[in-house]
Structure 1
Amino acid sequence: MTWNETIENFSHFLKFERNFSDNTLDAYIRDVKKLKAFSEEKLDNTTPDKITFENLQEFLLYLTREKISERTQARGISSIKSFFKYLIEEEIREDNPSTLLEGPKLGLYLPDTLSFEDVEKIIKAIDLSTDLGVRNHCIIEVLYGCGLRVSELIELKISDINFKENFIKVEGKGKKVRYVPLANYTANLILNYINNVRANNKIGKKYEDHIFLNSRGSSMSRVIVFIIIKELVEKAGIRKSISPHTFRHSFATHLLQNGVDLRFIQEMLGHSSITTTEIYTHLKTEELHDVILKYHPRNK
Protein backbone atom coordinates (compact mmCIF):
# COMPACT_ATOMS: atom_id res chain seq x y z
CA MET A 1 0.00 0.00 0.00
CA THR A 2 1.75 3.17 -1.21
CA TRP A 3 1.42 6.61 0.35
CA ASN A 4 -0.10 8.16 -2.78
CA GLU A 5 -2.75 5.48 -3.15
CA THR A 6 -3.64 5.58 0.55
CA ILE A 7 -3.86 9.37 0.67
CA GLU A 8 -6.04 9.45 -2.43
CA ASN A 9 -8.44 6.90 -0.93
CA PHE A 10 -8.44 8.79 2.39
CA SER A 11 -9.33 11.98 0.50
CA HIS A 12 -12.29 10.26 -1.17
CA PHE A 13 -13.42 8.91 2.20
CA LEU A 14 -13.38 12.37 3.80
CA LYS A 15 -15.16 13.98 0.88
CA PHE A 16 -17.86 11.46 0.07
CA GLU A 17 -18.43 9.62 3.35
CA ARG A 18 -17.62 12.29 5.92
CA ASN A 19 -18.87 15.20 3.77
CA PHE A 20 -15.86 17.38 4.59
CA SER A 21 -15.84 20.86 3.09
CA ASP A 22 -13.15 21.56 0.48
CA ASN A 23 -11.17 23.74 2.89
CA THR A 24 -11.17 21.19 5.72
CA LEU A 25 -10.37 18.39 3.29
CA ASP A 26 -7.40 20.31 1.88
CA ALA A 27 -6.05 20.93 5.39
CA TYR A 28 -6.27 17.24 6.40
CA ILE A 29 -4.63 16.00 3.20
CA ARG A 30 -1.92 18.65 3.46
CA ASP A 31 -1.10 17.45 6.99
CA VAL A 32 -0.91 13.78 5.96
CA LYS A 33 1.29 14.69 2.99
CA LYS A 34 3.73 16.30 5.43
CA LEU A 35 3.97 12.95 7.21
CA LYS A 36 4.47 11.24 3.85
CA ALA A 37 7.35 13.60 2.97
CA PHE A 38 8.93 13.04 6.39
CA SER A 39 8.65 9.27 5.94
CA GLU A 40 10.30 9.43 2.52
CA GLU A 41 13.18 11.62 3.70
CA LYS A 42 13.79 10.48 7.29
CA LEU A 43 12.20 7.03 7.74
CA ASP A 44 13.47 5.15 4.68
CA ASN A 45 10.08 5.57 3.02
CA THR A 46 8.20 3.61 5.66
CA THR A 47 4.71 2.92 4.33
CA PRO A 48 1.48 3.87 6.18
CA ASP A 49 0.82 0.27 7.24
CA LYS A 50 4.28 -0.03 8.86
CA ILE A 51 4.78 3.34 10.53
CA THR A 52 5.13 3.22 14.33
CA PHE A 53 4.29 5.37 17.33
CA GLU A 54 8.00 6.17 17.69
CA ASN A 55 8.09 7.30 14.04
CA LEU A 56 5.20 9.65 14.71
CA GLN A 57 6.98 11.05 17.76
CA GLU A 58 10.02 11.74 15.58
CA PHE A 59 7.73 13.53 13.13
CA LEU A 60 6.29 15.77 15.89
CA LEU A 61 9.81 16.57 17.11
CA TYR A 62 10.72 17.52 13.55
CA LEU A 63 7.72 19.89 13.36
CA THR A 64 8.79 21.54 16.61
CA ARG A 65 12.35 22.05 15.36
CA GLU A 66 10.97 23.52 12.14
CA LYS A 67 9.16 26.08 14.34
CA ILE A 68 5.73 25.03 13.14
CA SER A 69 3.18 26.83 15.32
CA GLU A 70 1.52 24.91 18.15
CA ARG A 71 -1.90 25.50 16.64
CA THR A 72 -0.79 24.04 13.30
CA GLN A 73 0.80 21.08 15.10
CA ALA A 74 -2.43 20.42 17.00
CA ARG A 75 -4.44 20.41 13.79
CA GLY A 76 -1.85 18.12 12.19
CA ILE A 77 -2.18 15.59 15.00
CA SER A 78 -5.93 15.61 14.57
CA SER A 79 -5.50 14.94 10.84
CA ILE A 80 -3.04 12.10 11.45
CA LYS A 81 -5.31 10.46 14.03
CA SER A 82 -8.18 10.55 11.54
CA PHE A 83 -5.89 9.05 8.89
CA PHE A 84 -4.87 6.06 11.01
CA LYS A 85 -8.42 5.55 12.25
CA TYR A 86 -9.41 5.32 8.57
CA LEU A 87 -6.64 2.73 7.95
CA ILE A 88 -8.05 0.54 10.73
CA GLU A 89 -11.60 0.84 9.39
CA GLU A 90 -10.30 -0.22 5.97
CA GLU A 91 -8.41 -3.13 7.61
CA ILE A 92 -5.11 -1.82 6.28
CA ARG A 93 -3.80 -1.82 9.85
CA GLU A 94 -4.78 -3.69 13.01
CA ASP A 95 -3.26 -1.18 15.42
CA ASN A 96 -3.38 2.61 15.69
CA PRO A 97 0.07 4.14 16.30
CA SER A 98 -1.44 7.61 16.79
CA THR A 99 -3.64 6.72 19.79
CA LEU A 100 -1.17 8.00 22.41
CA LEU A 101 -0.11 11.10 20.50
CA GLU A 102 -0.57 14.28 22.49
CA GLY A 103 -0.74 17.71 20.94
CA PRO A 104 0.80 20.87 22.39
CA LYS A 105 -1.17 22.61 25.12
CA LEU A 106 -2.83 25.55 23.45
CA GLY A 107 -3.52 28.78 25.21
CA LEU A 108 -6.76 30.66 24.65
CA TYR A 109 -6.85 31.99 21.11
CA LEU A 110 -8.32 35.49 20.94
CA PRO A 111 -8.89 36.59 17.35
CA ASP A 112 -7.97 40.07 16.17
CA THR A 113 -10.92 42.41 15.86
CA LEU A 114 -11.54 45.82 14.35
CA SER A 115 -13.21 48.72 16.08
CA PHE A 116 -16.12 50.33 14.25
CA GLU A 117 -13.78 53.29 13.61
CA ASP A 118 -11.27 50.92 11.96
CA VAL A 119 -13.98 49.52 9.70
CA GLU A 120 -14.92 53.07 8.69
CA LYS A 121 -11.26 53.89 7.95
CA ILE A 122 -10.98 50.85 5.65
CA ILE A 123 -14.16 51.84 3.80
CA LYS A 124 -12.92 55.42 3.38
CA ALA A 125 -9.76 54.03 1.75
CA ILE A 126 -11.87 52.59 -1.10
CA ASP A 127 -12.06 54.52 -4.38
CA LEU A 128 -15.83 54.53 -4.91
CA SER A 129 -15.51 56.26 -8.31
CA THR A 130 -14.63 52.91 -9.94
CA ASP A 131 -16.66 49.75 -10.50
CA LEU A 132 -14.11 47.72 -8.56
CA GLY A 133 -14.34 50.18 -5.69
CA VAL A 134 -18.13 49.81 -5.51
CA ARG A 135 -17.77 46.02 -5.57
CA ASN A 136 -15.07 46.03 -2.89
CA HIS A 137 -17.14 48.32 -0.67
CA CYS A 138 -20.01 45.87 -0.98
CA ILE A 139 -17.70 42.95 -0.12
CA ILE A 140 -16.47 44.64 3.07
CA GLU A 141 -20.00 45.53 4.15
CA VAL A 142 -21.29 41.98 3.59
CA LEU A 143 -18.36 40.46 5.52
CA TYR A 144 -18.81 42.89 8.40
CA GLY A 145 -22.60 43.35 8.28
CA CYS A 146 -23.48 39.66 7.95
CA GLY A 147 -20.51 37.89 9.56
CA LEU A 148 -19.87 35.61 6.59
CA ARG A 149 -16.86 33.38 6.08
CA VAL A 150 -14.89 34.25 2.95
CA SER A 151 -15.87 30.89 1.40
CA GLU A 152 -19.54 31.78 1.98
CA LEU A 153 -19.07 35.26 0.51
CA ILE A 154 -17.58 34.13 -2.81
CA GLU A 155 -20.35 31.51 -3.25
CA LEU A 156 -23.18 33.92 -2.38
CA LYS A 157 -25.94 33.97 -5.01
CA ILE A 158 -28.46 36.66 -5.94
CA SER A 159 -31.16 34.04 -5.40
CA ASP A 160 -29.93 33.63 -1.80
CA ILE A 161 -31.05 37.15 -0.88
CA ASN A 162 -34.60 38.02 0.10
CA PHE A 163 -34.79 41.80 -0.25
CA LYS A 164 -38.44 41.92 0.83
CA GLU A 165 -37.85 40.23 4.18
CA ASN A 166 -34.20 41.38 4.40
CA PHE A 167 -32.26 38.18 5.04
CA ILE A 168 -29.56 36.12 3.36
CA LYS A 169 -29.66 32.35 2.98
CA VAL A 170 -26.13 31.08 3.68
CA GLU A 171 -24.81 27.58 3.11
CA GLY A 172 -22.00 27.12 5.63
CA LYS A 173 -19.71 24.31 6.73
CA GLY A 174 -21.08 20.83 6.21
CA LYS A 175 -23.71 22.30 3.86
CA LYS A 176 -25.63 23.58 6.89
CA VAL A 177 -28.05 26.35 5.92
CA ARG A 178 -28.68 29.41 8.10
CA TYR A 179 -30.55 32.66 7.58
CA VAL A 180 -28.76 35.90 8.44
CA PRO A 181 -30.64 39.21 8.86
CA LEU A 182 -29.72 41.89 6.34
CA ALA A 183 -29.62 45.54 7.42
CA ASN A 184 -31.29 48.05 5.09
CA TYR A 185 -27.95 49.82 4.68
CA THR A 186 -26.22 46.64 3.49
CA ALA A 187 -29.19 45.62 1.33
CA ASN A 188 -29.12 48.98 -0.49
CA LEU A 189 -25.38 48.65 -1.15
CA ILE A 190 -25.89 45.17 -2.62
CA LEU A 191 -28.76 46.36 -4.84
CA ASN A 192 -26.70 49.33 -6.04
CA TYR A 193 -23.78 47.04 -6.91
CA ILE A 194 -25.99 44.48 -8.68
CA ASN A 195 -27.98 47.02 -10.71
CA ASN A 196 -25.39 49.69 -11.48
CA VAL A 197 -22.06 47.84 -11.61
CA ARG A 198 -22.45 44.09 -11.95
CA ALA A 199 -25.13 44.40 -14.66
CA ASN A 200 -22.79 46.49 -16.84
CA ASN A 201 -19.87 44.06 -16.72
CA LYS A 202 -19.07 40.73 -18.33
CA ILE A 203 -20.85 37.78 -16.69
CA GLY A 204 -19.87 34.17 -17.46
CA LYS A 205 -22.65 31.68 -18.21
CA LYS A 206 -21.89 29.59 -15.12
CA TYR A 207 -21.91 32.63 -12.85
CA GLU A 208 -25.10 34.45 -13.75
CA ASP A 209 -26.40 33.99 -10.19
CA HIS A 210 -23.12 34.72 -8.34
CA ILE A 211 -23.14 38.15 -6.74
CA PHE A 212 -19.43 38.92 -6.60
CA LEU A 213 -17.54 38.51 -9.88
CA ASN A 214 -13.98 39.17 -11.00
CA SER A 215 -12.99 41.10 -14.12
CA ARG A 216 -13.41 37.94 -16.25
CA GLY A 217 -17.02 37.51 -15.16
CA SER A 218 -16.42 34.42 -13.02
CA SER A 219 -16.56 33.86 -9.28
CA MET A 220 -13.90 35.45 -7.12
CA SER A 221 -11.27 33.41 -5.31
CA ARG A 222 -10.46 33.47 -1.60
CA VAL A 223 -6.98 34.74 -2.46
CA ILE A 224 -8.16 37.84 -4.32
CA VAL A 225 -10.44 38.78 -1.40
CA PHE A 226 -7.44 38.48 0.94
CA ILE A 227 -5.37 40.70 -1.36
CA ILE A 228 -8.12 43.34 -1.65
CA ILE A 229 -8.43 43.58 2.13
CA LYS A 230 -4.67 43.62 2.70
CA GLU A 231 -4.24 46.53 0.28
CA LEU A 232 -7.14 48.48 1.83
CA VAL A 233 -5.83 47.94 5.37
CA GLU A 234 -2.40 49.23 4.38
CA LYS A 235 -3.96 52.21 2.61
CA ALA A 236 -6.04 52.97 5.71
CA GLY A 237 -2.90 52.95 7.87
CA ILE A 238 -4.13 50.22 10.23
CA ARG A 239 -1.31 48.30 11.90
CA LYS A 240 -3.05 44.99 12.52
CA SER A 241 -2.97 41.59 10.89
CA ILE A 242 -6.33 41.70 9.11
CA SER A 243 -7.98 39.01 6.99
CA PRO A 244 -11.54 38.51 5.71
CA HIS A 245 -12.21 36.49 8.87
CA THR A 246 -11.39 39.54 11.01
CA PHE A 247 -14.61 41.19 9.83
CA ARG A 248 -16.54 38.10 10.98
CA HIS A 249 -14.88 38.33 14.40
CA SER A 250 -15.67 42.04 14.55
CA PHE A 251 -19.30 41.40 13.59
CA ALA A 252 -19.70 38.98 16.52
CA THR A 253 -17.76 41.10 19.01
CA HIS A 254 -19.72 44.28 18.26
CA LEU A 255 -23.03 42.43 18.57
CA LEU A 256 -21.98 41.03 21.96
CA GLN A 257 -20.80 44.46 23.14
CA ASN A 258 -24.22 45.86 22.26
CA GLY A 259 -26.07 43.27 24.32
CA VAL A 260 -27.02 40.56 21.80
CA ASP A 261 -27.54 37.13 23.38
CA LEU A 262 -24.74 34.65 22.67
CA ARG A 263 -27.22 32.08 21.31
CA PHE A 264 -28.36 34.50 18.60
CA ILE A 265 -24.74 35.19 17.66
CA GLN A 266 -24.13 31.43 17.46
CA GLU A 267 -27.04 31.10 15.01
CA MET A 268 -25.88 34.00 12.84
CA LEU A 269 -22.30 32.71 12.67
CA GLY A 270 -23.41 29.14 11.97
CA HIS A 271 -21.42 27.60 14.84
CA SER A 272 -22.50 24.04 15.60
CA SER A 273 -21.41 24.43 19.23
CA ILE A 274 -21.93 27.34 21.62
CA THR A 275 -18.41 26.65 22.91
CA THR A 276 -16.98 28.04 19.67
CA THR A 277 -19.02 31.22 20.04
CA GLU A 278 -18.00 31.67 23.68
CA ILE A 279 -14.58 32.88 22.53
CA TYR A 280 -16.22 36.28 22.10
CA THR A 281 -17.13 36.45 25.79
CA HIS A 282 -13.40 36.26 26.50
CA LEU A 283 -12.84 39.19 24.15
CA LYS A 284 -15.42 41.16 26.11
CA THR A 285 -13.70 40.19 29.38
CA GLU A 286 -10.36 41.39 27.99
CA GLU A 287 -11.94 44.72 27.09
CA LEU A 288 -13.49 45.04 30.55
CA HIS A 289 -10.12 44.27 32.14
CA ASP A 290 -8.44 47.06 30.16
CA VAL A 291 -11.20 49.55 31.02
CA ILE A 292 -10.95 48.81 34.77
CA LEU A 293 -7.17 49.18 34.77
CA LYS A 294 -7.46 52.46 32.91
CA TYR A 295 -10.27 54.14 34.83
CA HIS A 296 -10.50 52.66 38.33
CA PRO A 297 -9.28 55.23 40.90
CA ARG A 298 -7.14 52.61 42.68
CA ASN A 299 -5.11 52.27 39.51
CA LYS A 300 -4.35 55.96 39.14
Structure 2
Amino acid sequence: MVVSNVNFAVVGTEFRSSVSIDLSLLVARLRKAVKTEDPENIACGTMSLQLFLAKRASGDWLSAGTELANAAIGERGRLKLDADGHVEVFEPMKPLQSLNDPKYFGANFESRAGQIHVLVVVPKKLWLVTASIANALEAVGIRARVYEATTEHVGFYDSALQSDGQDRAFWYEEDKSLRIHVLFDTKENARRLETFLRNCQMLMCSPLKGHTVTTTVEEVFSVESQPLQRIFYEQYDPKETTSPQQSMVMSLSCSDLEAHLLDISTAEFRYQRIEDERFFIPHCKAECCNLVPGKEWKEVMQYGKYDDDPNNRLALSRLLRRPQL
Protein backbone atom coordinates (compact mmCIF):
# COMPACT_ATOMS: atom_id res chain seq x y z
CA MET A 1 0.00 0.00 0.00
CA VAL A 2 1.42 3.36 -1.06
CA VAL A 3 -0.18 6.32 0.70
CA SER A 4 0.53 9.75 -0.75
CA ASN A 5 -0.70 13.27 -0.25
CA VAL A 6 -2.74 14.45 -3.23
CA ASN A 7 -3.14 18.23 -3.35
CA PHE A 8 -6.27 19.61 -4.95
CA ALA A 9 -7.84 22.98 -5.76
CA VAL A 10 -11.52 23.78 -6.24
CA VAL A 11 -11.99 25.66 -9.52
CA GLY A 12 -13.57 29.10 -9.13
CA THR A 13 -12.57 29.42 -5.46
CA GLU A 14 -9.48 30.08 -3.38
CA PHE A 15 -9.84 26.72 -1.64
CA ARG A 16 -6.74 24.51 -1.67
CA SER A 17 -6.27 21.36 0.39
CA SER A 18 -4.73 17.91 0.49
CA VAL A 19 -5.90 14.35 1.20
CA SER A 20 -3.88 11.27 2.06
CA ILE A 21 -4.89 8.29 -0.04
CA ASP A 22 -3.66 4.89 -1.15
CA LEU A 23 -2.73 5.26 -4.81
CA SER A 24 -3.81 1.68 -5.51
CA LEU A 25 -7.43 2.79 -5.03
CA LEU A 26 -9.76 4.05 -7.73
CA VAL A 27 -10.33 7.66 -8.71
CA ALA A 28 -13.83 7.29 -7.24
CA ARG A 29 -12.29 6.93 -3.76
CA LEU A 30 -10.29 10.13 -4.26
CA ARG A 31 -13.49 11.89 -5.25
CA LYS A 32 -15.12 10.73 -2.02
CA ALA A 33 -12.12 11.87 0.04
CA VAL A 34 -12.25 15.33 -1.56
CA LYS A 35 -15.94 15.64 -0.73
CA THR A 36 -15.26 14.63 2.90
CA GLU A 37 -12.45 17.18 3.19
CA ASP A 38 -14.71 20.17 2.43
CA PRO A 39 -18.41 19.20 2.84
CA GLU A 40 -19.55 22.80 3.40
CA ASN A 41 -18.28 24.26 0.12
CA ILE A 42 -18.90 21.10 -1.91
CA ALA A 43 -22.69 20.98 -1.65
CA CYS A 44 -23.36 18.54 -4.48
CA GLY A 45 -23.29 14.77 -4.17
CA THR A 46 -20.03 12.89 -4.51
CA MET A 47 -21.09 11.42 -7.86
CA SER A 48 -21.48 14.93 -9.31
CA LEU A 49 -17.89 16.01 -8.61
CA GLN A 50 -15.57 16.24 -11.59
CA LEU A 51 -11.83 15.67 -11.16
CA PHE A 52 -9.14 16.71 -13.64
CA LEU A 53 -5.49 15.74 -13.57
CA ALA A 54 -3.58 19.01 -13.10
CA LYS A 55 -0.53 17.97 -15.11
CA ARG A 56 0.76 20.26 -17.85
CA ALA A 57 1.70 19.07 -21.32
CA SER A 58 5.33 19.40 -20.22
CA GLY A 59 4.75 16.85 -17.46
CA ASP A 60 4.97 19.42 -14.64
CA TRP A 61 2.24 19.85 -12.06
CA LEU A 62 0.32 23.10 -11.70
CA SER A 63 1.56 25.58 -9.15
CA ALA A 64 -0.62 26.21 -6.09
CA GLY A 65 -0.61 29.90 -6.99
CA THR A 66 -2.18 29.40 -10.43
CA GLU A 67 -5.24 31.59 -11.01
CA LEU A 68 -8.23 29.32 -11.64
CA ALA A 69 -10.97 31.92 -12.17
CA ASN A 70 -10.82 31.54 -15.97
CA ALA A 71 -11.21 27.76 -16.01
CA ALA A 72 -14.17 26.35 -17.96
CA ILE A 73 -15.41 23.00 -19.21
CA GLY A 74 -14.71 22.78 -22.92
CA GLU A 75 -15.08 20.25 -25.73
CA ARG A 76 -15.27 16.54 -24.88
CA GLY A 77 -15.53 17.37 -21.18
CA ARG A 78 -11.97 18.69 -20.89
CA LEU A 79 -11.08 21.57 -18.59
CA LYS A 80 -9.68 24.66 -20.31
CA LEU A 81 -7.57 26.98 -18.21
CA ASP A 82 -6.36 30.37 -19.39
CA ALA A 83 -3.39 31.14 -17.15
CA ASP A 84 -1.22 34.15 -17.98
CA GLY A 85 -2.56 34.25 -21.53
CA HIS A 86 -1.65 30.61 -22.19
CA VAL A 87 -4.54 28.20 -22.67
CA GLU A 88 -4.01 24.70 -21.32
CA VAL A 89 -6.31 21.70 -21.46
CA PHE A 90 -6.66 19.09 -18.71
CA GLU A 91 -8.21 15.67 -19.13
CA PRO A 92 -11.00 14.40 -16.85
CA MET A 93 -10.13 11.56 -14.48
CA LYS A 94 -12.30 8.48 -14.97
CA PRO A 95 -13.90 7.22 -11.72
CA LEU A 96 -13.11 3.53 -12.32
CA GLN A 97 -9.44 4.04 -13.22
CA SER A 98 -6.74 3.35 -10.65
CA LEU A 99 -4.89 6.34 -9.23
CA ASN A 100 -1.53 4.68 -9.94
CA ASP A 101 -2.39 4.33 -13.62
CA PRO A 102 0.57 5.65 -15.68
CA LYS A 103 -1.75 8.30 -17.18
CA TYR A 104 -2.43 9.63 -13.68
CA PHE A 105 0.09 9.38 -10.82
CA GLY A 106 2.00 6.24 -11.81
CA ALA A 107 4.24 4.14 -9.61
CA ASN A 108 6.87 6.82 -8.90
CA PHE A 109 4.64 9.72 -7.85
CA GLU A 110 6.17 12.12 -5.31
CA SER A 111 4.01 14.82 -3.75
CA ARG A 112 5.64 18.16 -3.05
CA ALA A 113 4.44 21.30 -1.34
CA GLY A 114 3.28 24.05 -3.68
CA GLN A 115 1.98 21.63 -6.29
CA ILE A 116 -1.61 21.09 -7.43
CA HIS A 117 -2.29 17.55 -8.58
CA VAL A 118 -6.04 17.57 -9.08
CA LEU A 119 -8.49 20.27 -10.16
CA VAL A 120 -11.98 19.86 -8.73
CA VAL A 121 -15.06 21.23 -10.49
CA VAL A 122 -18.13 21.51 -8.27
CA PRO A 123 -21.39 21.73 -10.24
CA LYS A 124 -23.48 24.75 -9.32
CA LYS A 125 -26.75 24.03 -7.56
CA LEU A 126 -29.67 25.46 -9.52
CA TRP A 127 -33.44 25.13 -9.53
CA LEU A 128 -35.30 24.12 -12.67
CA VAL A 129 -38.91 25.10 -13.32
CA THR A 130 -40.67 23.16 -16.05
CA ALA A 131 -44.28 23.90 -16.90
CA SER A 132 -46.93 23.40 -19.54
CA ILE A 133 -49.85 25.71 -20.36
CA ALA A 134 -52.55 23.90 -22.32
CA ASN A 135 -53.89 25.46 -25.54
CA ALA A 136 -51.69 28.53 -25.07
CA LEU A 137 -51.38 28.99 -28.83
CA GLU A 138 -55.13 29.64 -28.98
CA ALA A 139 -54.90 32.72 -26.74
CA VAL A 140 -53.27 36.12 -27.03
CA GLY A 141 -50.83 37.42 -24.44
CA ILE A 142 -49.81 34.23 -22.60
CA ARG A 143 -46.21 34.00 -23.80
CA ALA A 144 -45.69 37.72 -23.28
CA ARG A 145 -46.92 37.44 -19.69
CA VAL A 146 -44.68 34.44 -19.02
CA TYR A 147 -41.66 36.36 -20.37
CA GLU A 148 -42.51 39.27 -18.09
CA ALA A 149 -42.95 37.08 -14.99
CA THR A 150 -39.73 35.19 -15.68
CA THR A 151 -37.86 38.48 -15.91
CA GLU A 152 -39.36 39.67 -12.63
CA HIS A 153 -38.28 36.47 -10.85
CA VAL A 154 -34.73 36.44 -12.30
CA GLY A 155 -34.87 33.41 -14.57
CA PHE A 156 -32.02 32.06 -16.70
CA TYR A 157 -31.70 30.11 -19.93
CA ASP A 158 -30.47 26.51 -19.85
CA SER A 159 -27.53 26.38 -22.27
CA ALA A 160 -28.22 22.67 -22.81
CA LEU A 161 -31.36 23.67 -24.75
CA GLN A 162 -29.55 25.89 -27.23
CA SER A 163 -30.58 25.34 -30.84
CA ASP A 164 -28.44 26.75 -33.66
CA GLY A 165 -26.71 28.97 -31.11
CA GLN A 166 -30.02 30.45 -29.92
CA ASP A 167 -31.18 30.23 -26.32
CA ARG A 168 -34.73 29.13 -25.69
CA ALA A 169 -36.91 28.76 -22.63
CA PHE A 170 -40.44 28.84 -24.09
CA TRP A 171 -41.75 26.94 -27.09
CA TYR A 172 -45.01 25.56 -28.46
CA GLU A 173 -45.68 21.83 -28.78
CA GLU A 174 -47.76 20.19 -31.49
CA ASP A 175 -50.76 20.06 -29.13
CA LYS A 176 -50.61 23.92 -28.97
CA SER A 177 -49.42 23.91 -25.35
CA LEU A 178 -46.67 26.29 -24.24
CA ARG A 179 -43.66 24.56 -22.69
CA ILE A 180 -41.54 26.41 -20.12
CA HIS A 181 -37.98 25.47 -19.09
CA VAL A 182 -36.24 28.04 -16.86
CA LEU A 183 -33.30 27.88 -14.43
CA PHE A 184 -33.07 29.85 -11.18
CA ASP A 185 -30.17 30.34 -8.80
CA THR A 186 -32.42 30.36 -5.73
CA LYS A 187 -35.23 28.07 -4.66
CA GLU A 188 -37.33 31.07 -3.61
CA ASN A 189 -37.40 32.59 -7.10
CA ALA A 190 -38.25 29.22 -8.65
CA ARG A 191 -41.17 28.76 -6.26
CA ARG A 192 -42.38 32.30 -6.94
CA LEU A 193 -42.64 31.65 -10.68
CA GLU A 194 -44.43 28.37 -10.01
CA THR A 195 -46.89 30.16 -7.71
CA PHE A 196 -47.46 32.86 -10.31
CA LEU A 197 -48.28 30.33 -13.03
CA ARG A 198 -50.63 28.40 -10.76
CA ASN A 199 -52.46 31.50 -9.57
CA CYS A 200 -52.83 33.10 -12.99
CA GLN A 201 -55.00 30.29 -14.31
CA MET A 202 -57.62 31.41 -11.76
CA LEU A 203 -57.38 35.20 -12.13
CA MET A 204 -60.12 36.92 -14.14
CA CYS A 205 -57.83 39.47 -15.81
CA SER A 206 -55.01 37.04 -16.61
CA PRO A 207 -54.38 35.74 -20.15
CA LEU A 208 -53.84 32.33 -18.49
CA LYS A 209 -57.41 32.32 -17.16
CA GLY A 210 -59.09 28.98 -17.91
CA HIS A 211 -55.94 27.28 -19.21
CA THR A 212 -54.72 24.14 -17.45
CA VAL A 213 -51.24 24.70 -16.00
CA THR A 214 -48.89 21.96 -14.78
CA THR A 215 -45.58 22.75 -13.07
CA THR A 216 -42.60 21.03 -11.48
CA VAL A 217 -39.66 22.44 -9.51
CA GLU A 218 -36.54 20.36 -9.02
CA GLU A 219 -32.98 20.80 -7.80
CA VAL A 220 -30.32 20.31 -10.47
CA PHE A 221 -26.55 20.61 -10.65
CA SER A 222 -24.95 22.16 -13.68
CA VAL A 223 -21.39 22.81 -14.82
CA GLU A 224 -21.72 25.84 -17.09
CA SER A 225 -18.82 26.66 -19.39
CA GLN A 226 -20.15 30.23 -19.58
CA PRO A 227 -22.08 32.43 -17.11
CA LEU A 228 -25.82 31.87 -17.04
CA GLN A 229 -27.74 34.14 -19.40
CA ARG A 230 -30.69 36.10 -18.00
CA ILE A 231 -34.13 36.02 -19.60
CA PHE A 232 -35.47 39.53 -20.23
CA TYR A 233 -38.90 40.69 -21.34
CA GLU A 234 -37.28 42.77 -24.09
CA GLN A 235 -36.36 39.48 -25.81
CA TYR A 236 -40.02 38.66 -26.38
CA ASP A 237 -40.90 38.76 -30.08
CA PRO A 238 -44.61 38.39 -30.92
CA LYS A 239 -43.71 37.49 -34.50
CA GLU A 240 -42.09 34.21 -33.44
CA THR A 241 -45.41 32.37 -33.61
CA THR A 242 -48.55 32.51 -35.71
CA SER A 243 -51.42 34.58 -34.43
CA PRO A 244 -54.54 36.14 -35.93
CA GLN A 245 -53.04 39.51 -35.12
CA GLN A 246 -49.87 38.78 -37.09
CA SER A 247 -51.85 38.29 -40.30
CA MET A 248 -52.81 41.96 -40.28
CA VAL A 249 -49.67 43.47 -41.73
CA MET A 250 -50.25 47.16 -42.34
CA SER A 251 -47.47 48.70 -44.42
CA LEU A 252 -49.39 51.86 -45.25
CA SER A 253 -48.67 55.52 -44.77
CA CYS A 254 -50.47 57.33 -41.95
CA SER A 255 -52.98 58.98 -44.31
CA ASP A 256 -53.65 55.76 -46.22
CA LEU A 257 -53.91 53.82 -42.98
CA GLU A 258 -56.63 56.07 -41.61
CA ALA A 259 -58.72 55.55 -44.75
CA HIS A 260 -57.93 51.84 -44.81
CA LEU A 261 -59.25 51.35 -41.29
CA LEU A 262 -62.57 52.82 -42.36
CA ASP A 263 -63.01 50.20 -45.08
CA ILE A 264 -65.47 47.73 -43.54
CA SER A 265 -64.30 44.95 -45.89
CA THR A 266 -60.83 44.78 -44.34
CA ALA A 267 -59.67 42.64 -41.43
CA GLU A 268 -58.11 45.75 -39.90
CA PHE A 269 -61.56 47.31 -39.60
CA ARG A 270 -63.21 44.20 -38.19
CA TYR A 271 -60.47 43.54 -35.66
CA GLN A 272 -59.25 47.05 -34.90
CA ARG A 273 -58.62 47.90 -31.29
CA ILE A 274 -60.08 50.96 -29.66
CA GLU A 275 -58.38 50.34 -26.32
CA ASP A 276 -54.68 50.53 -25.71
CA GLU A 277 -53.15 47.15 -26.52
CA ARG A 278 -51.66 46.84 -23.03
CA PHE A 279 -55.11 46.74 -21.46
CA PHE A 280 -56.91 44.91 -24.25
CA ILE A 281 -54.81 41.76 -24.66
CA PRO A 282 -55.31 40.25 -21.17
CA HIS A 283 -59.08 40.14 -21.56
CA CYS A 284 -59.78 38.64 -24.96
CA LYS A 285 -58.78 38.46 -28.59
CA ALA A 286 -59.81 41.30 -30.84
CA GLU A 287 -61.76 38.95 -33.09
CA CYS A 288 -64.00 38.09 -30.10
CA CYS A 289 -65.27 41.67 -29.99
CA ASN A 290 -67.71 43.65 -32.10
CA LEU A 291 -67.85 47.27 -33.13
CA VAL A 292 -71.26 48.69 -32.26
CA PRO A 293 -72.34 52.15 -33.53
CA GLY A 294 -73.70 54.45 -30.85
CA LYS A 295 -77.06 54.78 -32.66
CA GLU A 296 -77.56 51.02 -32.75
CA TRP A 297 -76.52 50.68 -29.10
CA LYS A 298 -79.26 53.08 -28.02
CA GLU A 299 -81.93 51.46 -30.20
CA VAL A 300 -81.33 47.82 -29.28
CA MET A 301 -82.57 47.33 -25.73
CA GLN A 302 -80.73 44.06 -25.05
CA TYR A 303 -77.40 45.89 -25.29
CA GLY A 304 -78.35 47.67 -22.10
CA LYS A 305 -77.40 44.64 -20.04
CA TYR A 306 -73.73 45.40 -20.78
CA ASP A 307 -73.85 48.91 -19.32
CA ASP A 308 -72.86 47.84 -15.81
CA ASP A 309 -71.04 44.64 -16.73
CA PRO A 310 -67.39 44.85 -15.53
CA ASN A 311 -66.50 42.11 -18.02
CA ASN A 312 -67.91 43.98 -20.99
CA ARG A 313 -66.21 42.63 -24.12
CA LEU A 314 -67.91 44.86 -26.67
CA ALA A 315 -65.56 47.33 -28.31
CA LEU A 316 -67.89 50.31 -28.49
CA SER A 317 -67.82 53.27 -30.85
CA ARG A 318 -65.67 56.20 -29.76
CA LEU A 319 -68.76 58.39 -30.27
CA LEU A 320 -70.65 56.58 -27.50
CA ARG A 321 -68.28 56.11 -24.58
CA ARG A 322 -65.19 54.23 -23.52
CA PRO A 323 -65.77 50.50 -22.99
CA GLN A 324 -65.63 49.00 -19.54
CA LEU A 325 -62.97 46.35 -18.94
TM-score band, normalised by shorter chain? under 0.3
Between Structure 1 and Structure 2, which shows a larger proportion of helix residues? 1
- Length-normalised TM-score, structure 1: 0.24
- Length-normalised TM-score, structure 2: 0.23
Between Structure 1 and Structure 2, which shows a larger proportion of strand residues? 2
